Structure 1
Amino acid sequence: MNFYQSLGFLVFGSRLKRLGDTFLGDVSAIYKAHQIPFDASWFPVFYLLSREKEVSIKDIAETLNTSHSAASQMVSNLEEKGLIKTTASASDARRKVVTFTSKGSKLLQKIQPVWEALQQAMQQLAHESAASAQVLTALTELENNIQANSLFNRVEACLTKKESQQNEL
């Protein structure tokens, strides 16, 4: 058992970040090894656009559960690279929609096989042990529990209870 594992929940966030960094590093290395100029941080917007012909910035923000400003920054970054474009909606000129450029569509064709292989590899990894097979379910439950009652609120409740007990002494 390594140092991080021995500390349990005390470093849970750090372990998740390290694991996420490891996954993203490997995914970036895969794109680089296959000479695909794609940054893993672009995935959410690319994936949404791969499923829809056009998506509004508002829809991107809502789907990704992020601020409109953060979604707009992601879109601006991809626009600067010439991969997507923003135009007025045909149905409502006040609404801006995002679509792929031809360059973005060509890049999507190159990365989709990587996504399929990544999905297969992750399925294999998840089924290497009984506990690993439950990781997505457990992660979803944890996310839902935190959404219902934040870690901040939970820690504050523990501290308040501890202070109350100490004051009773």
Structure 2
Amino acid sequence: MEQFGVLTLGSRLKRLSDYLFAQVQDVYVQCDIPISATYFPILKLLQTAGDLSVVEIAERLHLSHPAVSKQTTKMIKASLLKKTVDERDQRRSSLALSGFGVDAMLRVEPILQEMKFVLEQQVDFPSQNFMDSLSLLEAQVFNGSLANKVMDRLAPVEIVLLEKQHEDAFYNLNMAWLERYFPNQIEDEDRALLTDPQSNIVTLGGVVWVALGGPQAKSVIGTVAFLPQNDLVINGANVGRVLKLSVAEHAQGKGVAQRLLSTIIDFAKSAGFSTLTLETASCLKSARQLYDKNAFIEMASPNKSHYQRADVYMEKQLRDAL
């Protein structure tokens, strides 16, 4: 439809609306939330404003009186709302959340927070043209399931060793990160490591972990790798290298990167390494904050980097390494 421009604006907005409602409903079903996605504006209004009449709800939400009346009737039957008749004027009544409705809104709140995070990422793009912005929004929303992304953020995260079934996700997640931040600086070594982590990391004594999220922990939402630096000895002790630390955009802000980095630190200590090294880029502010927080110290690199984009070298001393 995009090829027809503004002539299909209504159809495109309807398609987008239907898709978003369906995705939100999918999340509610998976999380056992007893409300319909279409009920949310009314429920949220009554949660914040208290008792209101159908007319007042319609005015505040800029909806038609019949539409609100139809929705609230369904919500009363679903025990989400309670209706109170004015003792002084039997023609007037007000609606409020029932006890069941209050509980449902409390249960849905953490889900809404994760949904807000994912959607804000998808609408965060610069454009002065509405139709261009709409195309970008459609590309973001229809690129992967919104419901799956929200469930990835809600589910507990599990850190496991890389297995064969994770290798495509290991490649795709890291390549997406490279294409976003350094599209013109993807090196042959990047492609080799991502295409065949078994040969280029594991068989060289390294280890790869992935972070799994979502229902039944099936979605790969993060990766990290450890590689011994056999050609580098610092203060007479073994050195290990951190590489390919990445977290899916929609799963950021949940501590996944910290858990992956902590996994490597714990492993390196138990394996007898005294120093961990890594390379990063000065433009990656969030990554730098993570490394600083974990006591990685910037210093001069002992070797020339394989990566043109890497302009920061850091080390962490593992003082209690075995």
TM (normalized to structure 2)?
0.38
> Aligned letter for 1:38?
I
- Of the three residues 100, 103, 108, the one matched with 2:100 is 103
Aligned equivalent of 2:29, options 22, 28, 32:
32
Q: 1:82 aligns with which of 79, 82, 93?
A: 79
Q: Does 1:59 align with 2:62?
A: no
Tell me how far 1:94 sits from its aligned partner: 4.5
2:126 maps to a residue whose letter is A
Deviation at 1:81, TM superposition (A): 0.8
Q: Are 1:130 and 2:137 an aligned pair?
A: no
| Higher relative contact order structure (alpha carbons within 8 Å, sequence separation ≥ 6) | 1
Q: Deviations over 1:108-162 (max 9, x none)?
A: 11112222222221111111x2139x86xx89xxxxxxxxxxxxxxxxxxxxxxx
- Deviation of 1:83 after TM superposition, in Å, equals 1.0
Paired amino acid for 1:64: L
Report Cα offsets for 1:16-51 as digits up to 9, x if no partner: 111111111111111111121221111111011111
CA shift in 2, pair 1:64/1:28, >3 Å: same
CA change 1:91–1:122 in 2 (3 A) is farther
Unmatched 5+ residue regions in structure 2? 135-322
C-alpha distance in 1 between matches for 2:22 and 2:65: 27
> Which 5+ residue runs of structure 1 have no aligned equivalent?
140-169
Aligned length in residues: 132
**Distance in structure 1 (CA, Å) of the matches to 2:59 and 2:22:** 27
What do residues 84-121 of structure 1 show as CA deviations (whole Å, max 9, x unaligned)? 11102478665311111111111111112222222221
Partner Cα distance (1:18, 1:35) in 2? 26
Seen in structure 2, the aligned counterparts of structure 1 residues 38 and 91 have a Cα distance that, compared at 3 Å, is same
Let me know the Cα RMSD of the aligned residues: 2.4
Match of 1:68 among 57, 65, 75: 65
Aligned counterpart, 1:113: 110
Percent sequence identity over aligned pairs: 29
State the secondary structure of the residue aligned to 1:55: coil
Provide the secondary structure at the position in 2 that maps to 1:99: strand
CA distance in structure 1 between the partners assigned to 2:89 and 2:28 by the alignment: 37
Name the structure with the higher helix share. Answer: 1
1:47-93 Cα shifts (integer Å, max 9, x gaps): 11111221111111111222322222111110111111110247866
Question: Which has more strand, going by share of residues?
Answer: 2
4+ long deviations beyond 3 Å = 89-94
